[in-house]
Structure 1
Amino acid sequence: MTFTIVSLLPTLQNTNGDAQNAAVLAQRARWAGLEAEVVAVDDRSTLPDRVDAVVLGSGSDASLETSRSAMLGLHDELRRWGTEGVPILAVGTGWELLSWGIETAGGRSIEGLGILPGRAVPRDGRVTGDLIVKSPLLGVFVGFENHARDYVGAEGSPLGRVRAGAGNGRESGQEGVVMGAVFGTHLHGPVLAKNPGFADHLLGIMADRAGLGYVPGGRSEEVDGYAMAARTAQLRAAGVEASIG
């Protein structure tokens, strides 16, 4: 079989290169001896028959309404995938669009698709910089955050606790939200390239659903060495290397 990884709205939702998380999943699957392809989906007409994972990147506020309109046509599928345990990774505004809704600094209120709990609300000033998160399940995540909204009312489990950066904000000390196999996060990078353990976790879910096993390939170990060096440098720069250990 061939794993099909949907890159959702890559022309609109790829401001920080987050759509490339789909390419990371596909390549690591191939290194493990599994066939995989990335399919760009901009509307229902390009939706493949089989979907094993979905990646939704971040876009600009100017494209929020356009992206929402396109995603509304896939609302039933997104809800079904989430219920069935298909891994969905949503970053930045892609995550916000899957929430209950978005409030902008200009006073607009944009209704979300309601796939994930919580909503995005304006914060005092944009936050940009290193974001370090400690996950009880997957260890340390590193990435870059760049957002002008906090995320409140996240009743699901957070992706992890913030060790450096703002994350969800409002002094919550949390970053992201997780419900089943649906993951929302502020982490840019792309997050799966900087955190290959997270990519392997998603691939493990995909393989389990298909009745297959997943073991990272030999090439993954070599590439992970580069990722580890970059992660170590970012932890050191953020001043949390020693505390995380």
Structure 2
Amino acid sequence: MADRLSIGLILPDVLGTYGDDGNALVLRQRARWRGLDAEIVRVGLGEAVPNDLDVYCIGGGEDSAQTLAAQHLIADGGLGRAAWAGRPIFAVCAGLQVLGESFRAGGRVYDGVGLIDATTAAMQNRAIGEVVSTPTGHGATAELTEPLTGFENHMGASILGREAKPLGRLRAGTGNMDESTFLDISDGQQQRASEGAVQGSVIATYMHGPALARNPQLADLLLAKAMGVSLAELEPLEIDAVTALRAERLAAAQG
């Protein structure tokens, strides 16, 4: 088990609009609470993405920021090499869209990084509000058992291909797409109930919050993957404030 962790915060200068930088802070603090030496490595636009960090976080941003991020990540290739090496990557909102095959921004379609078999179109109405899902347990998320909760704020409709699986099944909120999108898809009813995506070592979601502050089990799963151990091998953490936050947000979303 590693006693030192490097946490990559990827392009926070362009994909840091919604406070998703906090996901890296949560990972660092939960690692430190367990006595690990953890550091955050910030990688800005124009800088090479190291392919040997232990875990990566990428957040949300506006249309123009997405296009800049996608162009940089495609040209650089470091995040792709990290994914191929099995390094855990956590992507939120625009991060999900950018890591897909393509996404729409400013009325145009742009190539994504291609780490998730998903294409993102535009919804008619913005999805905004609390979202709750039940983890599907696909792939890298097999050990997740607790409900997932966050705050969504997007107009992207992400359609999953055969290689990508949903992170969660919706209990409240819009998730990956709204009704105007799924009517045009052969498996639309199933896709309409989806939130996020899982493929290989990539876990992606539309949950802000930041998501890992509201979902400690998901945060610990990422830490476990980064350390090369199972979730069950991590020392449990009982943090009253986190428990209270989850209870409040789950009640608000489902009430």
1:163 paired residue number: 171
1:29 paired residue number: 31
Match of 2:70 among 51, 68, 87: 68
**Residue 243 of structure 2 is aligned to residue 238 of structure 1:** no
What residue identity is the alignment partner of 1:195? Answer: N
**Residue 229 of structure 2 is aligned to residue 221 of structure 1:** no
CA shift, 1:83, in A, is 1.9
2:185 paired residue number: none
What residue identity is the alignment partner of 1:161? Answer: R
- Say if 1:152 and 1:85 are closer, same or farther in 2 by CA, change over 3 A: same
RMSD: 2.1
2:14/2:61 contact within 8 Å kept: yes
2:136/2:166 contact within 8 Å kept: no
CA shift, 1:107, in A, is 2.6
Distance 2:83 2:115 in 1: 8
Trace 1:136-147 onto structure 2 (pairs within 5 A).
136-137=136-137, 138=144, 139-147=146-154
SS in 2 for 1:221: coil
- Say if 1:232 and 1:78 are closer, same or farther in 2 by CA, change over 3 A: same
Distance 1:96 1:194 in 2: 22
- Using structure 2 for the length normalisation, give the TM-score: 0.84
- Say if 1:200 and 1:103 are closer, same or farther in 2 by CA, change over 3 A: same
- Using structure 1 for the length normalisation, give the TM-score: 0.87
1:167/1:176 contact within 8 Å kept: yes
1:205 paired residue number: 225
CA shift, 1:136, in A, is 3.8
Distance 2:18 2:69 in 1: 16
1:153 paired residue number: 160
What residue identity is the alignment partner of 1:164? Answer: A
2:55/2:226 contact within 8 Å kept: yes
Number of positions where the alignment pairs a residue of Structure 1 with one of Structure 2: 232
Structure 2 unaligned spans of 5+ = 138-143, 183-188
1:99/1:114 contact within 8 Å kept: yes
Identity of aligned residues (%): 34
2:160/2:197 contact within 8 Å kept: no
What residue identity is the alignment partner of 1:221? Answer: E
1:243 paired residue number: none
Distance 1:180 1:126 in 2: 29
Trace 1:60-139 onto structure 2 (pairs within 5 A).
60-75=62-77, 77-104=78-105, 106-137=106-137, 138=144, 139=146
CA shift, 1:48, in A, is 4.8
Match of 1:178 among 178, 193, 198: 198
- Say if 1:109 and 1:6 are closer, same or farther in 2 by CA, change over 3 A: same
- Say if 1:168 and 1:33 are closer, same or farther in 2 by CA, change over 3 A: same
Structure 1 unaligned spans of 5+ = 241-245
- Say if 1:26 and 1:122 are closer, same or farther in 2 by CA, change over 3 A: same
CA shift, 1:68, in A, is 1.9
1:111-156 CA distances to partner (integer Å, 9 max, x unpaired)? 1111110111111111100000111442201100000111113431
